[in-house]
A and B are shown apart, each in its own frame.
Chain A
Amino acid sequence: MASNRNLCLSGKGVTKVFGFGRQRTVAVDHVDFDFHEGEIISLVGESGSGKTTLAKMLLGLINTSEGEIFFQGQKRDISSGAKKREYWKNIQAIFQDPYSAFNTFHKIDEVLLDCIKLRGGGKLPKEEKVKLMTDACNFVNLKFAELTNKYPFELSGGQMQRLMIARIFLLKPRILVADEPTSMVDACSRATILDYLMKLREEIGMTLIFITHDIGLAYYVSDTVYIMEHGRFVESGTADAVILRPKEPYTRRLINDVPKIYEEWDLSTV
């Protein structure tokens, strides 16, 4: 499915080590990966598996201890602040907890204006800016006119999550890293969030990288699934292959331990 598409992000021997001496922990242990443009990828792992650390490395928020990350086939260079800012035009993130993701002292207008500025629209006339912001809000079914001059914490959790997506709409990055985007959202609103992300992907050809512990979610949304444990990729492949026909024992255990509704959920293998 994804073999003839261009390489978007790839990595060779990517490693992250924290601490030294007796407190040395290897969070990410020599992982290799190839993400293609337009692909939907899930990194699945339990807490402590290293998936968040890997995500932060992909985003360029923390440095790799070893290994190389390639962006569009070229070695990624984020050695300076300016280079980082260049890189961040191509990759953005949405976070798990909408309540802590927004600065509580900044109004919604500022948050969206920031995105416009990042895309170089700082000099645009005010009406144009407002139009851009209104369009972004409409995309996620929020009304900009109602939100203006309010603070993020005045919204509900679901609305804030949608606001985060509106930001992405304005930023139009090539790659979006979604860190547990639906774990703090009501079941009824999950589909909405996922819908927006898919729509965005279709409109701007975004590559989606989901970080999640929910293997069901990974199965539902992704083309490719990578299973992580203790900083290593245990198994990877298409969603169907990994989840319906898992090869590794860890993957099997992970899938077996999730409650099922269509098949019998075998409790005896505890």
Chain B
Amino acid sequence: MKHIFSQVFHSGKFLVGFTILGILLLIIVFYPLIVRHPPLQIIGQGTFFPPGIYVSTYDAINAPTLYTLNLDDAAVRRIENRLSQEDRVAMQEWLVAFGVPESEIDITNTEQLLTQWETYYDPDLRLTGMTFARMRYFQRVNDSVDGLLSTSGVIIAARNPETNELEETGIIKQTDFANIGQVANVRFLALGTDNFGRDIMPQLVAAAGVSLLIGVIAGIIATAIGLVLGLLAGYVGGLVDDIIMFVTNLFTVIPTFVLLILISFSIGQEQRGAVTIAMVIGFTSWVWTARAVRSQVMSLRDRDHVNLSKLSGHPISRIIFADILPYIASYVVMAFILQVSSGILAEAQLSILGLGPRTTDTPTLGLMMNWSMIYQAHILGNWWAYLPVLLTIALITFSMNLMNTGLDQVFNPALRD
């Protein structure tokens, strides 16, 4: 047996798959210990905040020290942040219509462009061929660039509780910088927030864990059922085989997914926990394993070593455990891995349809997909709400299938490259 283990761990494909899965498991286990943010806590007021580092502007202003930094390109950066390419082209268009020679306008030089704009722009001027709507557009552009070139700073005023008037309490200059380490509240939202305003990152990690758990439970149940039924049908044969095959055929003809939907629906929202769903998936997906085990056992039944065992007077139980099971063990392990990965996918499919586990307790990968779909993240372009989930599902199933292929090559030398 040891040489089988060493062979397995030398298989490139198995190792890669195993490592990926291992890393994922480590993340799932250790991330919540390091980053102690509850996964389902609503922190964002509003939907789908994009990923990034969120700095509290209030705390930034009130940082203990404000440092003066004179950066050359600070002004340019400021302008470029507010002036999109579209806006700049519009400005150029207005200026040209106004009469400024085109050769003098350089939209890449924002400072010069702005200066030109401030010199020539007149909101009331209506140039030839300009619609009213277009004029309003230019006015809006003008408003947005108002004060971009100023260097006088922003005045902070607080309301005097007694006189109810605004009193100047300070000035924030364009050259004032705060050290982010000194800002009281900074939150790194690696994957932004979802539609409810929940931090996606810890949610994803927790969901991955739950989905894996569901997959493993479903896998264990499905493999166990498949193994027992397959063994009985394959070895005993006759009537037992016929009955089991009949049941298997029933389950084959009825589309598993439809069955899952029906059972899930009839259980009702309240009863649907993660474990329940796992059990449902397990009890409906054993068919393939049972068939495969049965055919393996049937071919093993006539082997010489089984005959030899019979001739040695071994009872049926011993023959099954000692002569048949070890020979299909590798097969069963591979079947288990595949069942787990398909269990995860099945849960995701159920949850996308809203028939998965309860939405309030635990997130699952499928549920996250569900929410992002219902709230139309894909239409709005909020990729962070569904893309990482997709990648995680893909990565988990990919790593498991890779492990499986690696194992297959170890156990079936004929498949080695």
Q: State yes or no: do A and B touch (Cβ within 8 Å).
A: yes
Chain A residues close to B by CB (< 8 Å): 56, 59, 61, 81, 84-85, 88, 92-93, 95-97, 100-106, 114-115, 118
Nearest CB on A from B302, distance (A): 9
Which A residues touch B323, using CB under 8 A? 103
B413 in contact (CB, < 8 A) = no
Which A residues touch B311, using CB under 8 A? 59, 61, 88, 92-93
Q: What DSSP secondary structure best describes chain A's contact surface?
A: mixed
Nearest CB on B from A91, distance (A): 8
| Contact A95–B312 (Cβ < 8 Å) | no
Which A residues touch B309, using CB under 8 A? 103
Chain B residues close to A by CB (< 8 Å): 1, 303-305, 307-313, 315, 322-323, 326
Nearest CB on B from A18, distance (A): 12
User: Which of B310, B315, B322 makes the CB contact (< 8 A) with A103?
Assistant: B322
Q: A59-B311, A103-B305 are in contact. List 14 more A-B contacts (CB 8 A).
A: A61-B310, A61-B311, A85-B313, A88-B313, A93-B308, A95-B304, A95-B308, A96-B304, A100-B303, A102-B308, A103-B322, A103-B326, A105-B322, A114-B312
Q: Which residue of B lies closest to A105 (CB)?
A: B326
Tell me the total A-B contact number using a CB cutoff of 8 A: 44
Q: Which residue of B lies closest to A85 (CB)?
A: B313
| Contact A118–B305 (Cβ < 8 Å) | no
| Contact A100–B305 (Cβ < 8 Å) | yes
Q: Which residue of A lies closest to B303 (CB)?
A: A100
| Contact B312–A115 (Cβ < 8 Å) | yes
- A30 and B312 alpha carbons, distance in the complex (Å): 29
| Contact B315–A102 (Cβ < 8 Å) | no
Q: Could you list 8 A-B pairs, sorted by A, with CB under 8 Å?
A: A81-B315, A95-B304, A102-B308, A103-B322, A105-B326, A114-B312, A115-B312, A118-B313
Nearest CB on A from B53, distance (A): 58
Which B residues touch A96, using CB under 8 A? 304
Q: Which residue of A lies closest to B319 (CB)?
A: A103
Q: Which residue of A lies closest to B323 (CB)?
A: A103
- A59 and B310 alpha carbons, distance in the complex (Å): 10
| Contact A88–B307 (Cβ < 8 Å) | no
- A216 and B291 alpha carbons, distance in the complex (Å): 44
- A103 and B326 alpha carbons, distance in the complex (Å): 9
